[in-house]
Amino acid sequence: MNFPIISLPPFTAVTSGPDPEMDFSPEGVLGRFNAHFSTIKPSPRDSFRPRDFLFFNGEAGGLEWWYAWEEGMPDGGFEKVSFDGGLYLTYTYRDHDEEENQRLYEAAVEFAKSSEIFDLDERRGHYSMGHIITPPKVIEAQGFALMECFVPVKIK
């Protein structure tokens, strides 16, 4: 199986902070964070890709959500963190199909481990992560979204 490899630039992000409850309800940590960043409308130049990244923070034991922030955007009082960028292997799956996600993640890890060029690069602040890439009007029309996943890799 072949996987695209992309480069993400360094950026400052606002973060939900880790949420061990993984609560997306309107009152939950992740729900409040979603409500905030959903109101931000980036310039057309910056809106061709989703700016949010969701991942499991293993050290803190909870789901964490980042939004790539730029000077002048409201931060909603959320903490800011630095992301150092890097290389990522990517794949997509139908959101909520965790069986397919697990299958593809395992194939991605095996691809990186058996590669003569790449190695996994998971470390603090550099986790596997994902975001929805399907525009809202398409989700409404087709009834589902695609999740794009990013698995950190480095050149050996």
Q: What is the pLDDT of residue 43?
A: 76
Of the candidates 39, 42, 65, 37, the one whose C-alpha atom is nearest the C-alpha of residue 53 is 65
SS3 at position 57: strand
Q: Does CATH place domain 5-155 in 1.10.8.350?
A: no
Question: For the chain, what are the domain ranges?
Answer: 5-155
What is the C-alpha to C-alpha distance for residues 80 and 65, in angstroms, rounded to an integer?
12
Say if residue 71's pLDDT is above 80. Answer: yes
Say if residue 80's pLDDT is above 90. Answer: yes
Say if residue 111's pLDDT is above 90. Answer: yes
Binned at pLDDT 50, 70 and 90, residue 48 comes out as low
Region 33-55: mean pLDDT is: 84
**Residues 6+ positions from 129 with CB-CB distance below 8 Å:** 53, 54, 55, 66, 149, 150
Q: What is the pLDDT of residue 112?
A: 95
Region 58-82: mean pLDDT is: 92
